[in-house]
Amino acid sequence: MDDLKELKLEALKKIQEVSDVKSLEDLRLELLSKKGKIQGLMAMMKDLTAEEKPKFGQLVNDLKTSITEAIETKKKDFEEVLMNAALESEKIDLTLNAYTPKAGSLHPLTLVQKELEDVFIGMGYNVAEGPEVELDEYNFTRANTPVGHPARDMQDTFYIDVNHLLRSQTTAIQMRVLEKEANHMPIKVICPGKVYRRDDDDATHSHQFVQCEGLVIGENITVADLKGTLELMIMELFKKDAKIRFRPSYFPFTEPSFEVDMTCHICGGKGCPTCKGTGWIEILGSGMVHPNVLEMAGIDSKKYTGFAFGVGVERLAMLKYGISDIRDLYTNDVRFLSGFKK
Amino acid sequence: MLLSLKWLNEFVDLSGLSIEDIEDKLVKAGFEVESEKHLGLGTNLVVGKVLECKDHPDSDHLHVTKVDIGDEVLDIVCGAPNCREGLKVIVAKVGAKLPGGEIKAGVIRGEKSNGMLCSLKELNISEDMLPEDSPSLNGIEELDDCFEIGESDILNKLGYEDTILEVSIYANRPDCAAMYYMAKEAAAILDRPCKLPDYLGQANIGEKGSFKLNSASENCKHFIAKVVNDVTIKESPEWMKQHLRANGIKSINNLVDISNYVMLETGQPLHFYDLATNPNRNIEVRDDYEGNYEALDGNEYKIEKGDLMIMSDNKPIGIAGIMGGENTKILDTTKGLIIEAALFDHAQIRRTSNRLGLQTEAAARFSKGLEPEAQNRAVDRAVQLLKELADAKGFEETVEYGKSDYVPYTIEETLSHLNSLIGKEYTMDEAVSVMKRLGFSTTNDNEKFVVEIPSHRSMDLKIREDLDEEIVRLTDFDDLKSTLPLLPQTVGKLSPIQRIRRNIRETLTNKGFNETVSYTLVDQKKIDEALLPVGEAISLLSPLSDARKYIRNSLMNSMIETLTYNLDHYNNDLNLFEISSVYGKDVQSERLGLIMTGYLSQYKVLHNSIKTDYYVLKGVVLEVLDNLGYEGKRVLLKENDLDVKHFHPYQSVSILINNEVVGIMGKLHPKYMSSLKLKDVYYCELLLDKLVDKNPAKIKAPVINKYPSISRDISIVLKDEVKADDLVKTIKKAGGSLVKNAEVFDIYKGEHIESGYKSVSLNIIYESADSTLKTEEVNEVHTKILEVLNNSYGANIRN
């Protein structure tokens, strides 16, 4: 019996002294394997009395349990140390540059055009397009600007031959829509696209730019409808409450015609450098479609009226994103482009 | 138009209105005020008399003066050479605000100076507006005795006080370029009465003469000439000089001034010819003259057929509507003159003026169009002023070719139409009162109003909506309510090509690409080097420059230019795309250009980067197509036989769907690249319109196989020219339905592999849809595959 006690003390001491996993395993085998010391104790059973046997068995089992537990505990200690060492070995500099999946970007003109499209699609408009190499007829004549009309001088146009030109206004698309949809009232479209004028490029002029025109034809369309529609568009674009005001203007294809100012999106109308202290920003041209334009497309101008408007997409982008030089939009420097994340 | 408020005030009483009020009302009525200028400018100015003027002890040109300004005597140091005792001068007192700054008390080289003696140049008057003998040109202004010491109303008394608004005028209102009609317009806008000078019929005088007038060109439909045999040249009166000055025109003499003044007032450019240069008394307008001609600016101009010329005795005497001739101009010796007031075609004048680079006030006015009765009105006014200011006598009867095409007419509008167009509730009183303010004769009942349109508005008032605009323009419009159109419901949606664009943009921006937008107009070189040009390039009739001469017929060179710009600015890893239409003669196509160089993505810390090569480009392009509904097996990549000039012959392919070419991609040719000082650039151009109707796949949910798959790798050695694609096809064919996938994952050439051969490692996935595969089943198929590979390619299993 004392042997057992001694054996236990000795075993536990050895377990405590083990210095690595391998030695611990060796020790475990020495003590607990089938040929191990504990098993060896069982051999002594046969020499014991029937009375002593269960008692001895119990003691051996207890011994076995304690040693097993001690070994497990020691093993866990070793594992803990190993894990700590492993973790330590995996220590990294958390301040190093992150891996940034390269983010692409849409061109700011695309972003604005997309917003315009989405606003108007939501209101049941379609998005119409047309050729940039256009007939003089659609660009001017059908827009109530016949040959010799002084308004042709307002836009210096890139002609290709007598009848063909690079369109100077997306009004050309409207004229095509009117002709095609003359018998499918009402008409609700926006017409985005590139246009070209013989302007020298500088900070505020570009020989190429993007316009987006809108056109609604139906019964009883009013200037008030135009106002409401434009206010909604501007509020969606600038994500702010905005008011607009109309100033009389002149376009050959609308009558009456209006320049439209919106409350400055920077100062909300209080006056700031962006709006030159006026609280208003000139944003687009618009008006009620001229009866001549409707008649030329085969639409009864006594029955139908409508409004049209045209906005410069560059102008919107410049206002919205704070771009001061229109040429930045066409230089395509990736440092600039990368700023326009989706 | 330059609108002098002083001049306007002669026609419309502006009292009680601030400049801001006037500007605000003009803007609301559709006349944008571009700028506000002042002729003379300066506060705190008084008339002073120089009591004492001594040389400054410490300067070779300064004077030390004592100046009496009535209530005190000021010490002022003055540098003007004409400063002297007894002179009446303009004194800017301490605190005066002048264009050059504020006057402060100070000490100049030890002498006190409490003010400044002024030249008119210091009071905002530009040198070219001053008379040739003005003391202000070289010193201080010298005032005459009508100025009292201490008086402050100096600029006004000198005729230099005026506010000039630069008003922009829309193309439909050329009438407002004339002061006469601008005054009418302003009166209507301000709702005040308008007093206009009355001189109609003044030209209906004179003896019958022998003057012959003709137009041989349809671009001159109306021409009035009048011979005046006797005029006296002298200085113009001050009021006329002032009005001219406000318009930036310097007074020359009464005759020149009258022709300019009448133009400003009536809008009609006039020309006076020296009568002595026209002994045979004839003028003909022609458009068939060719040759050089010296205009009165002393320059020779090359006249071509089509240009309108004023001829006499078959010799040119002036460039019609643009500038008179050197040989017929008014001189100091002129005794008699011929008045010309004509209507020349605006488009023709504009063409000639642009071609000759001769932009005169007359040309500008003709180009914008004239009101139909301007010629008659101008001659009436000229005759009246010549009599009054040039002692004109010996008038001959007016000679007229053609006549004004204005025929009086009316426009009818109803209140209900007006209100249903605008969306407001105007009353008949409101509508009619606007017509009255405009000076239009109007009749009305409860519903309808009928308006007579005068000649000067006949260019823009043609239909009832034009009248509606007048009402909107001249009444408060800020209270218009906001509504939305009440229409039958419509469904808004994108077209197929619009959806394709959005889809591509999403794919490529997710992959890290930047979208670009470049110019459509390009130079000759970009056309010469076009990739798959859509057609013969279209050139412009009159390009701005050689760099912007053609409409591009492919995108590649624009994208290379964008790439080059960025590389030049140290932006090295570039992945760009652009979607744009391209044009050729009678054709149009929409394209996607995609250009890559450097790294697609880079993570230097872990040396984990993707350097762009053909395979990276291919992956991106296939993903673009896949997202559009064209998965890999529908896309055929064929050897590039479309363009090997710009593409690397062995690293480029043409892309086909349904047997039609939809694009090209690959590495750009090293030779082409080195000519542009570039290297390792990868490019793809897709023909987007070809992708619209190729029956793209719809999304279908994949079925997950519930039975496990078995993966086997093989390495085989075979001839270098065997293509991966063929190997995979062979494996799939040999393996039949059990082969779920086969993929090359490694290629090795070099040591232990005979030259001309390569070792290819493939992974084959076996799978069955109906059962768990047994090893024996797989072995059987796998062995067969190896056999077939061996037979087809002489492939040896590598150990």
Q: What is the pLDDT of residues B29-50, one digit of tens each?
A: 999 999 888 888 888 999 999 9
CB-nearest to B423 from A158, A223, A231 is A223
Q: How far B613 CA lies from chain A's nearest CA (Å)?
A: 17
Which residues on neighbouring strands pair with residue A286, listed in sequence order? A258, A309
Residue numbers in B near A279 (CB within 8 A): none
If you compute the radius of gyration of chain A from its CA atoms, what whole number of angstroms results?
43
- CB pair distance less than 8 Å for A104 and B28: no
CA distance A335 to chain B (A): 8
Considering only the beta carbons, identify the residue of A96, A102, A159 that sits closest to B541: A159
Q: Which residues of A touch B543 (CB under 8 A)?
A: 158
Closest CA in chain A for residue B496 = A127
Q: How confident is the prediction for chain B on average, in pLDDT?
A: 93
Contacts 24+ apart (CB under 8 A), B189-198: B189/B25, B189/B26, B189/B29, B189/B31, B189/B474, B190/B12, B190/B14, B190/B17, B190/B22, B190/B25, B191/B437, B192/B12, B192/B13, B192/B14, B193/B12, B193/B13, B194/B11, B194/B12, B194/B439, B195/B11, B195/B12, B196/B11, B197/B381
CB contact under 8 A, A188 and B490: yes
Q: Which of B423, B517, B605 is the closest to A225 by Cβ?
A: B423
Q: What is the pLDDT of residues B157-189, one digit of tens each?
A: 888 888 999 999 998 999 999 999 999 999 999
pLDDT of B569 strictly over 90: yes
Contact A158 B543 (CB under 8 A): yes
Distance in Å, alpha carbon of A8 to nearest chain B alpha carbon: 53
Interchain CB distance below 8 Å, B520 and A166: yes
Q: What is the pLDDT of residues B312-331, one digit of tens each?
A: 999 999 999 999 998 899 99
Q: Which residues of A touch B562 (CB under 8 A)?
A: 332
**What's the pLDDT at A153?**
59
CATH 3.30.56.10 domain range(s) in chain B:
2-37+166-190, 409-474
What are the chain A neighbours of B27 within 8 Å (beta carbons)? 247
Which architecture characterizes domain B2-37+166-190 according to CATH?
2-Layer Sandwich (3.30)
Question: Which among A99, A129, A133 is the nearest to B538, CB-wise?
Answer: A133
Task: Report the distance separating Cα A155 and Cα A147, nearest Å.
Answer: 13
DSSP-derived letter for residue A130 is -
Confidence of residue B421 (pLDDT cuts 50, 70, 90): very high
The Cα of A10 is separated from the nearest Cα of chain B by a number of Å equal to: 52
Chain A to chain B Cβ contacts (< 8 Å): 248
Q: Which of B421, B570, B596, B603 to mutate to test the interface with A (most CBs of A within 10 A)?
A: B421
pLDDT at A150: 67
Lowest mean pLDDT among A216-225, B522-531, B613-622, B768-777: B768-777
Residue of B nearest to A339 (CA): B514
Interchain proximity A150–B29, CB inside 8 Å: no
Which span out of A38-52, B349-363, B525-539 was modeled with the highest average pLDDT? B525-539
- Beta carbons of B424 and A229 less than 8 Å apart: no
Smallest CA-to-CA distance from A176 within A214, A202, A139, A149 is with A139
Query: How far does the CA of residue A129 sit from the closest CA of chain B (Å)?
Result: 10
Average pLDDT over residues B360-380: 93
At the topology level, CATH places domain B710-797 in Alpha-Beta Plaits (3.30.70)
Mean pLDDT of A232-254: 91
Comparing CB atoms, the residue among A216, A245, A333 nearest residue B485 is: A216
Asked whether the beta carbons of residue A257 and residue B469 sit closer than 8 angstroms, the reply is yes
Binned at pLDDT 50, 70 and 90, residue A151 comes out as low
- What is the pLDDT averaged over residues B15-33? 94
Nearest-Cα distance to chain B for A232, in Å, is: 9
pLDDT at res. B337: 94
Residues of B in contact with A194 (CB under 8 A): 520
Alpha helices in A186-309 (DSSP H): 223-238, 291-296
- Does A105 sit within 8 Å of B509, measured CB to CB? yes
Q: Which two tokens stand for residue B735?
A: 């393996």
Q: Which residues of chain B form CATH 3.30.70.380? A: 710-797
The pLDDT tens digits for B602-628 are: 888 777 889 999 999 999 999 999 999
Task: Indicate the pairing of strand B309-312 with strand B315-319.
Answer: antiparallel
Query: 3-state DSSP call for residue A169?
Result: coil
- In which band, very low, low, confident or very high, does the pLDDT at A1 lie, cut at 50, 70 and 90? low
Cα distance between the two ends of chain A: 82
* pLDDT tens readout for residues A187-221: 999 999 999 999 999 999 999 999 999 999 999 99
Mutate which: A334, A335, A336, A340, vs B, most B CBs within 10 A:
A334
Using one digit for the tens of pLDDT, what is the confidence trace for B669-716? Answer: 999 999 999 999 999 999 999 999 888 888 889 889 899 999 999 999
Average pLDDT over residues B541-548: 93
Percent of chain A with pLDDT over 90: 62
Write out chain A residues lying below 8 Å of B350, CB-based.
Answer: 153
Answer yes or no: is pLDDT of B378 > 90.
yes
What fold characterizes domain B496-691?
A: BirA Bifunctional Protein; domain 2 (3.30.930)
pLDDT at B601: 87
CA distance linking residue A191 with residue B369, whole number of Å: 32
Q: Please judge whether A222 and B421 are an interchain contact, meaning their C-beta atoms are less than 8 angstroms apart.
A: yes
> Do strands B710-719 and B647-657 pair parallel, antiparallel, or not at all (unpaired)?
unpaired
* Higher local confidence (pLDDT), A265 or B285: B285
pLDDT digits (tens, 9 = 90+) for A268-311: 888 888 888 888 999 999 999 999 999 999 999 999 999 999 99
More confident residue, B631 or A57: B631
Chain A: residue whose CA lies nearest to B586: A133
Contacts of B490 in chain A (CB under 8 A): 124-126, 186, 188
Q: Which among B505, B509, B605 has the least Cβ separation from residue A96?
A: B605
Predicted local distance difference test score (pLDDT) of residue A154: 52
Residue A41 pLDDT greater than 80, yes or no: no
Contact A255 B576 (CB under 8 A): no
Selection from A109, A28, A114, A121 nearest residue A337 by Cα: A109
What is the C-alpha to C-alpha distance for residues A139 and A168, in angstroms, rounded to an integer?
7
Q: What is the pLDDT of residue B799?
A: 54
Torsion, Cα of B436, B442, B445, B450 (10° steps): -130
Question: Could you tell me the residue ranges of all domains in chain A?
Answer: 2-89, 108-337
Residues of B whose CB is below 8 A from A228: 481-484
Predicted confidence (pLDDT) per residue in B434-451, tens digit: 999 999 999 999 999 999
Which of B369, B517, B603 lies closest to A109 in CB terms?
B517
Contacts of B494 (CB under 8 A, 6+ apart): A117, A121, A127, B502
CATH-assigned architecture of domain A108-337: 2-Layer Sandwich (3.30)
Best of A255, A262, A342 to disrupt the B interface (most B CBs within 10 Å) is: A255
Helix (H, G, I), strand (E, B) or coil at A269: coil
ipTM associated with this complex: 0.86
**Domain boundaries B45-158, corresponding CATH code:** 2.40.50.140
3-state DSSP of B264-324: HHHCCCEEEEEHHHCCCCEEEEECCCCEEEEECCCCEEEECCCCCEEEECCEEEEECCCEE
Residue to substitute from A337, A338, A340, interface B, most B β-carbons within 10 A: A337
The answer, yes or no, to whether residue B550 has pLDDT greater than 60, is: yes
Over residues B104-123, mean pLDDT: 91
Q: Which of B350, B486, B540 sits opposite A158 (nearest CB)?
A: B540
**What distance in Å separates residue A280's CA from the closest CA in chain B?**
13
Confidence label for A252 from pLDDT (cuts 50, 70 and 90)? very high
> In this structure, what token pair is assigned to residue B257?
């001034």
* Stretch A31-57: mean pLDDT: 81
**pLDDT above 60 for B198:** yes
Among candidates A105, A154, A227 on the partner chain, residue whose Cβ is nearest the Cβ of B514: A105
pLDDT over 70 percentage in chain A? 98
Confidence check: pLDDT of A96 > 60: yes
> Is domain B212-401 in CATH 3.40.50.150, yes or no?
no
- Is CATH 2.60.40.10 what the domain over B409-474 is classified as, yes or no? no
Q: Where in chain B are all domains bearing CATH 2.40.50.140?
A: 45-158
pLDDT at B388 over 70: yes
Cβ-Cβ contacts under 8 Å, B425 against chain A: none
Indicate which of B175, B352, B460, B480 best probes the interface with A, i.e. most A CBs within 10 Å of its own CB: B480
Look at residue A155 and tell me whether its pLDDT is greater than 60: no
Q: Token digits for B324? A: 């008179």
The CATH 3.30.930.10 portion of chain B extends over 496-691
Q: How far is B500 from chain A (nearest CA, A)?
A: 14
Question: Is the per-residue pLDDT at B363 higher than 60?
Answer: yes
- Yes or no: say if B241 and B251 are a contact pair by the CB < 8 Å rule: yes
Mutate to test the interface with A, among B23, B219, B464, B484 (most CBs of A within 10 A): B484
CB proximity list for B215: less than 8 A, separation 6 or greater: B221, B223, B284, B285, B401, B402
